[in-house]
Structures are given as structure tokens and as C-alpha cells.
Amino acid sequence: MSKILTVSPSPHVTSDQSVQHLMYGVVLSLVPAFLVSLYMFGIGAVIVTAISILSCVVFEMLIQKYIMHTEISIRDGSAIVTGLLLAFNLPSNLPWWMIVLGSLFAIGVGKMAYGGLGCNPFNPALAGRVFLLISFPVHMTTWPLPLQSRIQYLDAVSGPTPLGILKETVRSGATAADALQQIPGHMQLFMGQMGGSLGEISAIALIIGFFWLLYKKIITWHIPVTMIATVFIFTGILWLAEPAKYASPLFHILTGGVMLGAIYMATDLVTSPVTKAGMVIYAVFIGLITVVIRIFGAYPEGVSFAILIMNAFVPLINKYIRPKRFGEEVKNG
């Protein structure tokens, strides 16, 4: 028999799930949220998303080719995911050059400066968003209103987000109940009819994406469920203590970036803990920090900061929260 045989150590088979599958699975799961955004914000959603994805991919390619001199790996899909998630964290009327700058920061500083895929401690898309928020606070907090200016991009009719209204009202001395009168009802919030970053508004669309990710085994329930539950419980306690002063827990989980953050930003594989127990701890703290910023901080919203802060603790969590070894504790009987 003269056939040349391949010889390699076992295992000789691999699962169907590759890094590409994971990345493109995430992209696919964001389609419902994008469609809602398209309906609410119109052409701005398309422009911002397209510029963000394109510039992330191009920057990654250029950096790999001219600075790092490594193999170009844009086909793994991770730059597309970063671009898409960055766009979802931006208002749909942000000027194009700011998006390009944010993409450069996300990919260049947030990811490639650490060595590329798998090496970054912080979520690159959130790094890009926070960079823009600090650099251009006015543009980054001018939110187009839903359903009002679908064919305008930069000159869209803008207004505050529900969380912004809440913060301003409480700061001016009025109660949370006063603020809630200016805000759409829970059902509208659930569907996504509110001002906000282009991808964060629709809880229902994001939850559909979440179930798809669970079905495809791309993420597990631990981080999203724990984080949302923590926000719900913490704000619930405050609300029960002083219902006039604080908004309801349902309001808190349906507005701002809680859904997008819990399902997509906090679950980033590279920047979240490895063990299930570690994930739960990480998600609890993200939830707590989010609420602390929202209620006691200067910013109306705190999800991005909370996730980035906890990203920094992930190596520590991975060091101390280890899986229990087989036969480590002997319980016989």
C-alpha cells in the first residue's frame, strides 16, 4: 500500500464551533436589534454602523500589515464584531470622523496595542465608546429621538434618553415619579421606542439575540442573567425603600445599556472570566457598579464604565476562582 498517511496525535476530530463561527454567530444575533434601530432611527443607523465596521476592519488590517508585520487575520470576524458593537454603543447622529476616531482607538489602543485577538484586557468596543464619550461629551450625549427623523443623519431631531431625563429631574429636586411622566411606558421601552445608543434601545430584539446565542452555545446564561438580576434586585431594594425618589427596577433594566451590556459587552469571551463561578461574581459587580453610577454618580448611565472596571479584575478572578478538580475533595458514600 503506497498511500501517504497523515500521522498526528489524538484527538482526531474537532467540534463544529470555530472562532469564526463564534464571531459570525454574534453578528447574526445582532440583526434583530439592528432592524429595530433602523426602524427607529432610519438612515443614521445604517451610516454609523457601516462606517464603524469598515473602519475597524481597515484599521486592523493596516496595523497588522504596516506596524505589527503579522499575518492579516481580519477574516476571523473579530474586527467586524468590534465595529458592530462600537456602532451599537453610539448615537445614530454621530459625525463620521468621530466614528473613525473611535474605531481607531478601539482597534489600535483597545486591541492591537496589547497584541491583537485574545490579548486585550478591556473590551475594545467599550474602550472606543468611552474614549469618544470623554473626548466629545456633547456629541456623545445628543440622542436622536425615535421615529422622528428617519431620513436625516447629522441633523436628526434630538432629545435626552429616559435615564438622562431621570437624572436631570432628580437633580432638580423633583421626584422620580415626575420624571417617569415624561418617559414612554414600559411596553414602549421594552420594544425600543426611546432615545439612546443605536443598538441598545430594544430589549425585545436583544433578548431574541440572547436566545439565539444560547441556542448556538456561543455564550452561557451566567453573565447576562446575573447582571440583569443584580441591577433589578439592587434598584428594586432602593425603589421599595423610597418609591418616590427612585425609579422602578423594571425601568432600570429596560433603559440604557443594561440589556446590550449584559448580553453582548460583558460576555466578550476575551475580557470575561473563564469559570462559571467567576462569571457570576464578575456580573454581580458589573450590576452593582452600574446602579451606583446611575443613582449616585454624575453620569446618567454607568454600564460601560462598570464593565471596563470589572474587565480589569478578570485576571484576578481567573486566578482565585478555579474549577474544582476531580478527586480534590473526597466525598465517598
How many CB atoms lie under 10 A from the CB of residue 146? 26
Least separation in angstroms between CB 326 and other proteins: 4
Is 185 or 329 the residue whose CB approaches other proteins more closely? Answer: 329
Least separation in angstroms between CB 3 and other proteins: 7
User: 294: burial class by Cβ within 10 Å (0-12, 13-18, 19+)?
Assistant: buried
- Contacts of residue 141, Cβ cutoff 8 Å, sequence gap at least 6: 91, 133, 164
Is 73 or 141 the residue whose CB approaches other proteins more closely? Answer: 73
Phi-psi sector, 181: left (phi>0), alpha (psi -120 to 50), beta: alpha
Least separation in angstroms between CB 223 and other proteins: 11
- Contacts of residue 209, Cβ cutoff 8 Å, sequence gap at least 6: 29, 30, 31, 32, 33, 263, 264
Residue 11, preceding peptide bond in cis (omega within 30° of 0): yes
> What's the rounded Cα separation, in Å, for the pair 198 and 49?
9
Least separation in angstroms between CB 207 and other proteins: 22
Is 78 or 89 the residue whose CB approaches other proteins more closely? Answer: 78
Is 120 or 197 the residue whose CB approaches other proteins more closely? Answer: 120
Is 19 or 233 the residue whose CB approaches other proteins more closely? Answer: 19
**Chain positions contacting other proteins, by CB under 8 A:** 1, 3, 5-15, 17-19, 21-22, 73, 76, 116-119, 269-270, 272-276, 322-333
- 144: which strand partners? 158
Least separation in angstroms between CB 2 and other proteins: 10
